[in-house]
Amino acid sequence: MRVELFTLCDGAYNYNGKLTIVGALTTISPETLPCRIKLGVAMRIQVDSKNKGTNNMAINFLDPDGNRLPVDLTVELDVKHTLDTVRPHTSQAGKVVELDVKHTPDTVSYITFAADLQGFPIEKEGSHKVVIVIDGETLATYSYNVKKRG
């Protein structure tokens, strides 16, 4: 598996495997801290026949001190050797996650992932991280900044 595309955004939507991203961002600028915001997560993961079966994915959010934020974004990815669409999944924290998994034997295929997190917590300024973990192994790490307005 390989992350082909990842962004935080104002909104992320998956329509039959077509990923729509609204307001891609690398910096969050709230008026006050701490605060809670709506945050979209959009991602496309490349898979091949080696990834057949169930894979567990977690997206972990870390503050500038490396502490994990209390955001539960875990999903089971079921990669099959047929053209299938995985129905929307709701994570344990009640966040709706839209998934689309399409795969045929001996081809490269993609998992299209979109989630909108309501009440995403932001406590402090600085460089934050997003860590994508699949089956216990870190697949990718991305950074985003928080800088208070004013």
Residue 92 has phi, psi (to 5 degrees) of: -60, -30
Q: CA-CA distance, 79 to 68, in Å (whole number)?
A: 28
Average pLDDT of span 7-19 = 91
Lowest mean pLDDT among 5-14, 52-61, 98-107: 98-107
What confidence tens digit (pLDDT) does each residue in 124-136 have? 999 999 999 999 9
| Average pLDDT of the segment spanning 96-109 | 57
> What six digits make up the tokens of 100?
């689309």
pLDDT at 146 exceeding the cut of 70? yes
First to last CA, the chain: 41
| Greater model confidence, 84 or 120 | 120
Look up residue 92 and give its amino acid. Answer: Q
Find the farthest-apart pair of alpha carbons in the chain and give their distance in angstroms, rounded. 54
Per-residue pLDDT of 54-96, as tens digits, reads 888 999 999 999 999 998 788 888 776 444 444 444 444 444 4
What pLDDT is attached to residue 90? 43
- Is residue 103 over pLDDT 80? no
pLDDT confidence bin for 97, thresholds 50/70/90: low
User: What domains lie within the chain, and their CATH numbers?
Assistant: 2-146 (2.60.40)
Average pLDDT value for residue range 37-48: 91
Residues 6+ apart with CB under 8 A from 88: 96, 97, 98, 99
Torsion of CA 4, 8, 13, 16, to 10 degrees: 10
Average pLDDT, the chain: 84
Least confident span in 7-11, 16-20, 40-44: 16-20
For residue 115, pLDDT over 50 is answered with yes
